[in-house]
Amino acid sequence: MKLNYKDFNTLTQKEMCKISGIGRTTAKRIAAMRPYKEDNDLFKVKGLGKTTLKRLGVEKKKKERKKWMKHPTLCDDVDYPHSCFATDTKTGQLDFFWRIPRERRLYFGHEEESRALISCFATDTKTGQLDFFWRIPRERRLYFGHEEESRALIAKILAEKEQEPILK
């Protein structure tokens, strides 16, 4: 008999008790820990051993190890997880992400998501501070990487405000 986690999500306790190696207590535990999202979840059930699951055709899958790499400029011969690296958009250098200002980071392996995050930054024309654009009033935002277009937009917003009639 070949089963997988989907079968354990649908089987009743009576049906599970009919399976060799699964008693009433184990069937209750299986039902209590539902829903299962993958075969490895079944190995967490107390009383449901590796041998029983192997006999039922459920094999434990090993998790994929994180990708590791050496720092491109340091000669320390240490492997680091790839998630600690980012590319500086200004210099094009690959380095530890904490050494690169947040608004210039392209995270290694997640470049597209990083570009979307960078587009969330703007400079406040009043304070000169870099922050998320939604924290800055619209008429003071200089969008990161789009400063010229932002200046034109600010001028347009301020011109519209001047033309609005003052209501009393």
Taking all residues of the chain, what is their mean pLDDT, rounded to a whole number? 84
Q: Is the pTM of this model over 0.75?
A: no
Range in 83-87, 102-106, 122-126, 163-167 the model is least confident about: 163-167
Q: How far lies 78's CA from each of 54, 93, 107, 165, in Å?
A: 38, 19, 20, 66
Contact (Cβ atoms closer than 8 angstroms) between residue 106 and residue 89: yes
Burial classification of residue 139, based on how many CB atoms lie within 10 Å of its CB (0-12 exposed, 13-18 middle, 19 or more buried): middle
pLDDT for residue 10: 93
Please report the pLDDT score of residue 112 as a whole number. 79
Report yes or no: 118 and 145 within 8 Å, Cβ to Cβ: yes
Nearest to 71 by CA among 82, 60, 58, 59: 82
Tell me if residue 53 falls in helix, strand or coil: helix
Q: Structural domains in the chain?
A: 5-55 (1.10.150.320), 68-108 (no CATH), 121-163 (no CATH)
Residue 28 has pLDDT above 90, yes or no: yes
Closest CA to 42 of 95, 3, 80, 93: 3
Residue-wise pLDDT tens digits, 117-131: 777 788 888 888 888
Q: Tell me which amino acid residue 145 is.
A: G
Q: What count of Cα atoms within 13 Å lies in the side-chain half-sphere of residue 60?
A: 12
Which whole number is the average pLDDT over 132-147? Answer: 81
Using one digit for the tens of pLDDT, what is the confidence trace for 55-75?
888 888 887 766 788 887 777
Is residue 156 very low, low, confident or very high in pLDDT (cuts 50, 70, 90)?
confident
User: How does residue 25 score in pLDDT terms, banded at 50, 70 and 90?
Assistant: very high
Residue 23 pLDDT greater than 60, yes or no: yes
Is 90 exceeded by the pLDDT of residue 14?
A: yes
| Structure tokens belonging to residue 141 | 């935002």
Q: What percent of the chain has pLDDT over 70?
A: 93
Instruction: Inform me whether the pLDDT recorded for 164 exceeds 70.
Output: no
